[in-house]
Amino acid sequence: MAENAIPVALLPRRRPTTMGAMRRVVFVVHEGFQLLDLAGPADVLATATLLAPPGDGYRIEVAAAGAGTVTANTGIGVEASVPLAGVTGDIDTLVVVGGLEVERHLGLAGQIGRLSTLARRTASVCSGALLLAEAGLLTGRRATTHWLSAGALAAYPGVTVDADRIYQRDGVVWTSAGVTAGIDLALALVADDHGARTARDVARGLVVYLHRPGGQSQFSPALRAPAPDEALRDLLAHIDAHPGADLSVPALARRVGLSERHFARVFTGRTGMSPGRYVERSRAEAARRLLETTDHPLDRIARDTGIGAPETLFRVFRRLWRIAPGEYRRRFATR
């Protein structure tokens, strides 16, 4: 946590927003931020304002370390109307955006922590969750972020990371997954404020899902923390390359020359998941690639990837990605 981060628990929370007043939304940006992290949610809120009762929409402000032009990752400049230190008064929603270089801006955590005490709720888009964690706002909470940042977020004490969630709400703090997931988050905020019908109308107008099927891992490689140990890296490569092999704990422990108990403890500590869970995800990833690139029937895919039966394949896909294998193939086949 940043040294200048304010102890959030020591500062008073603001009262909830009353109906009939424009809801003030402050977006926090920084140099190199992901433009869609700002533009996507802002468009959702702007569209909701057109549909909301008069005076009950959203008033959007952009703040940064200093007022003036802030350059996004695309090279496009966005005008920050006020420096973070100059933001005062009640805020309905504080939204912290992310970007590939977000860890260069952890020094903003102190001001973000201060602003969160002025806000009814605080949210992050993509890797912006790292700034919330640095400010101490995710301690003792469940959160999500872009799958590339999941390991960095999990390194913060007291943060429980669910890296497959599109967005996560834990009390007054909301977090979302990578980039376009900010749109899903904003739609959820609109539904929370104005009801599902308004959120559905906004989604229809923007031609996006109101509730997209599956989690973010259906769009990304396997979600796992890197393993620094060379022997363990070799073992992970073996698992990924041979999904149909015997990948039981006894077999894997023999391969690295450890007792089963010690192996399970080391594996879980280095990767953040148990051997069984890793093997299941690796096999599911292999099945997913076959669904994308081949016409193999489901029973062959289940057999070749070590999953076993089509029924098990269906259960694994529904549990991991909340989508059936056949539906996944229809959406993402590239052959």
Q: Is the pLDDT of residue 10 over 50?
A: no
Q: Is the pLDDT of residue 250 over 80?
A: yes
Beta-carbon contacts of residue 3 (< 8 Å; ≥ 6 apart):
none
pLDDT for residue 84: 98
Tokens representing residue 96 in the block? 């912290």
Q: Name the region of 272 (left: φ>0; alpha: ψ -120 to 50; beta: rest).
A: left
Q: Which of 56, 113, 118, 64 is nearest to 93 (CA)?
A: 118
Q: What letter represents residue 59's amino acid?
A: R
Q: Is the pLDDT of residue 120 over 90?
A: yes
> What does each C-alpha distance from 194 to 20, 52, 63, 208, 317 come to in angstroms?
12, 7, 25, 18, 33
pLDDT for residue 221: 44
Q: Which of 45, 58, 27 is nearest to 183 (CA)?
A: 45
At 140, is the pLDDT very low, low, confident or very high (cuts 50, 70, 90)? very high
Domain with CATH 3.40.50.880 in the chain: 8-218
Is-contact 96 123, C-beta < 8 A? Answer: yes
Domain with CATH 1.10.10.60 in the chain: 230-332
Q: What letter represents residue 148's amino acid?
A: L
Q: Which of 271, 261, 288 is nearest to 237 (CA)?
A: 271
pLDDT for residue 13: 43
CA 82/CA 195 separation, integer angstroms: 31
Q: Is the pLDDT of residue 134 over 80?
A: yes
Is-contact 190 56, C-beta < 8 A? Answer: no
Is-contact 114 132, C-beta < 8 A? Answer: no
Fold of 230-332: Arc Repressor Mutant, subunit A (1.10.10)
pLDDT for residue 236: 83
CA 315/CA 325 separation, integer angstroms: 9
The CA-to-CA distance between both ends of the chain, in Å, stands at 47
Residue 307, φ and ψ in degrees, nearest 5:
-75, -35
How does pLDDT run across 260-319, given as a tens digit for each residue?
A: 999 998 888 887 789 999 899 899 989 988 998 899 999 999 999 999 999 999 999 998
pLDDT for residue 215: 58
Q: Is the pLDDT of residue 189 over 60?
A: yes
How does pLDDT run across 50-97, given as a tens digit for each residue?
A: 999 888 999 999 999 999 999 999 999 999 999 999 999 999 999 999
pLDDT for residue 9: 39
Minimum mean pLDDT among 32-41, 152-161, 163-172: which range? 163-172
Q: Is the pLDDT of residue 200 over 90?
A: no
CA 29/CA 273 separation, integer angstroms: 33
Which own/partner pairs from 253-262 qualify as long-range (CB within 8 Å, at least 24 positions apart)? 256/231, 256/232
Beta-carbon contacts of residue 192 (< 8 Å; ≥ 6 apart):
none
- Could you tell me which CATH class the domain 8-218 is placed in? alpha beta
pLDDT for residue 224: 44
Per DSSP, the residues of 152-201 read HHHTSTT-EE-TT-SEEEETTEEEE-STTHHHHHHHHHHHHHH-HHHHHH
Burial 273-287 (b: 16+ CB within 10 A, else e): bebeebbbbbbbbbb
At 210, is the pLDDT very low, low, confident or very high (cuts 50, 70, 90)? low
Q: Is the pLDDT of residue 118 over 70?
A: yes
